[in-house]
Amino acid sequence: MTLFDELVAVTDPERVTDRPFDLHLHSADAGLRTGEATVVVFAETTEEVCDVVRLAARHGVPLVARGAGTGLAAGAVPTEGGIVLTLTRMNTISDIDPVNRTAWVGPGVINLDLSRATAPFDLHFAPDPSSQQACTIGGNIANNSGGPHCLSEGSTVNHILAIEMVMADGEVVILGGAAPDPIGLDLRGVVVGSEGTLGIVIRALVKLTPDPPEVRTMLCAFPTVEGAAAAVSGIIAAGVVPAALEMMDQGMLVAVENWLHAGFPTESAAALIAEVHCAPEAADAEVDVIREVAEQEGATEVRVARDEAERALIWKGRKSAFGAIAQTAPNYYLHDTVVPRTRLVETISEMYRIADDADLTMMNVFHAGDGNLHPLIAFDATEPGMADKVHAAADEMVAACVARGGVLSGEHGIGAEKRDLMGTVFTELDLDAQARLKHVFDPDRVLNPRKILPAGSRCFDYGGSPLPEGTWI
């Protein structure tokens, strides 16, 4: 019996496919890198996931878990063939507990659907990636995803209390628990952000956040990018930590406005979207502080959304920014590096210099409040040599961020896209420690291989001998 036949036997003939179109669709994510899946399986139950994992282990075939495919770092791209295990059908929301503010959810639950389901209880799931209308909770867990409102609430790891996971040998374990500070090692925290390299998440106990009593959304226009960046640090230094603090530069404002017609200030060099969540009695005071700091940094306009419709339009523009790029160029490439807020002004200036020197079109839209940059290069991949030029400039931008005390990713993950840059922020000893952790969870290197850690990360094997040069884990 072939592997395909065995997969059909443990699932369903309608949910196992090797049709060329299906393989093509599941061999890429929203980024530029592509792979080549051997077979795609749509799992619906825990038992099916366990069986598929055991089959992968027995056959020595790579296994890549996948959600909606909205990732940008090739984290769910099958780099060396094998099984792509799609979890979007495991989308049950159960045990919503409005008193303890928790719920158990499947990995295929769409982020925004979770908040819609908990809205009757005046609760929501705080992490809100720009792709929240499509991305799944499983994908959020895999990448420790963030979003505009994670400035004050924290990223996904701060909202996952427990994880039910299938290990590499098919065993089901639960890591973490409902207690705020469970006893023992925080293995839940180890798994969040591990990009499917340690196990397959099949359920998660999420923490739900109360809806804010008062919301004010502001749009501040600036004549310079540097002024907008300086306002970010100034606002927080003044004692206000907004729920969200986002920046869009002129190129991005124009692209979004051409599509949405939201009234964005396209004549400005940059705009900040600031939102405060607070008690009604404090709202006016926090808005006044943001207005004062923005004006001190040269803001030419400070607009407060008049109602929920205007607020929703502003956020639609921000969260649709990447899609709006299609009017500018057929392709785009971006990283999501992070720098200290105090280095934003100089780092952004360096980003523009790198793009200008390479004669590339770059736009910026990013989580300014936590220094999470998203330099986006718009280009046409069919132009000879263009892709290489874009990648070279992007790597230079990452290096510029690292040189200023930054890190490789704030929310998109490492995947295959930034895997070979890990040595710029981690020592050989650091990489070896991470590789040993991977070995504990996945000794046969079946789960999502060739991701996060570059070749040669393991300094020695367990017999005390160096691993073969270039060994992947």
Question: What pLDDT, in 10s, does the model give residues 138-167?
Answer: 999 999 999 999 999 999 999 999 999 999
pLDDT-based confidence at residue 459 (cuts at 50, 70, 90): confident
Nearest CA-CA partner of 229 in 344, 365, 400, 338:
344
Residues in contact with 465: Cβ distance below 8 Å, sequence separation at least 6, in sequence order: none
* Alpha carbon of residue 466 to chain centroid: 34
- Contact, 338 vs 401, CB < 8 A? yes
- 294: amino acid identity, one letter: A
How far apart, in whole angstroms, are the C-alpha atoms of residue 236 and residue 234? 6
E-state strands within 55-97:
63-66, 83-86, 93-97
SS3 state of residue 46: helix
DSSP element (H, E) containing 32: none
**Domains in the chain, CATH or no CATH each:** 3-86 (3.30.43.10), 93-210 (3.30.465.10), 214-323 (3.30.70.2190), 331-420 (3.30.70.2740), 427-473 (no CATH)
How far apart are the C-alpha atoms of 261 and 273, rounded to whole Å?
A: 16
Strand 361-366, strand 244-249: pairing: antiparallel
Q: Flag whether pLDDT at 465 surpasses 60.
A: no
- Quote the Cα angle for 378-195-66, to 5°: 80
Q: What is the pLDDT of residue 468?
A: 55
pLDDT value of position 101:
97
- pLDDT of the residue at 464: 45
- List pLDDT tens digits, range 417-431: 999 999 999 999 999
% of the chain with per-residue pLDDT over 90: 91
pLDDT single digits (tens) 162-171: 999 999 999 9
Check pLDDT > 80 for residue 34.
yes
Do residues 403 and 442 make contact, with C-beta atoms less than 8 angstroms apart? no
Q: Residue 176 — pLDDT band, cuts 50, 70, 90?
A: very high
Residue of 11, 90, 14 lying closest to 52 (CA atoms): 11
pLDDT tens-digit map of 182-222 = 788 999 999 999 999 999 999 999 999 999 999 999 999 99
**What share of the chain has pLDDT > 70, as a percent?**
97
Whether the Cβ atoms of residue 33 and residue 75 lie closer than 8 Å to each other: no
- Cβ contact 72:31 at 8 Å: yes
pLDDT digits (tens, 9 = 90+) for 256-301: 999 999 999 999 999 999 999 999 999 999 999 999 999 999 999 9
Which element (helix H / strand E) includes 284? helix 280-296
- Predicted confidence band at 473 (pLDDT cuts at 50, 70, 90)? low
List Cβ neighbours of 451 (8 Å cut-off, separation of 6 or more). Answer: 74, 75, 79, 195, 196, 197, 414, 415, 416, 419
Residue 113 has pLDDT above 50, yes or no: yes
Please report the pLDDT score of residue 322 as a whole number: 87
Alpha-carbon distance of 181 to 179, in angstroms, equals 5
Sequence-distant (6+) residues with CB within 8 A of 449 are 62, 79, 80, 197, 472, 473
Do residues 93 and 114 lie in contact, with contact meaning Cβ atoms separated by under 8 Å? yes
Looking at residue 471, its pLDDT comes to 58
- Specify the pLDDT at position 458: 85
Question: Is the pLDDT confidence value at 467 over 80?
Answer: no
| Gap between the Cα atoms of 229 and 348, Å rounded | 8
- Model pLDDT for residues 297-320, shown as the tens digit of each residue: 999 999 999 999 999 999 999 999
Q: 134 and 68 in contact (C-beta within 8 Å)?
A: yes
**466, pLDDT greater than 70:** no
pLDDT at 136 over 50: yes
Instruction: State the chain's maximal CA–CA distance in angstroms.
Output: 72
Sign for the CA dihedral angle at 353, 358, 363, 367 comes to negative
Average pLDDT over the chain, rounded to an integer: 94
Instruction: Note the pLDDT of residue 328.
Output: 87
Q: Which token pair is 74? A: 């090739």
Radius of gyration of the chain (CA): 23
Which residues are CB-contacts of 410 (< 8 A; sequence separation ≥ 6)?
146, 155, 336, 337, 338, 367, 370, 371, 372
pLDDT greater at residue 26 or residue 181: 26
- The answer to whether 66 and 26 have CB atoms below 8 angstroms apart is yes
pLDDT for the residue 268: 97
* 68 contacts: CB under 8 Å, gap ≥ 6: 88, 110, 131, 134, 135, 136, 139
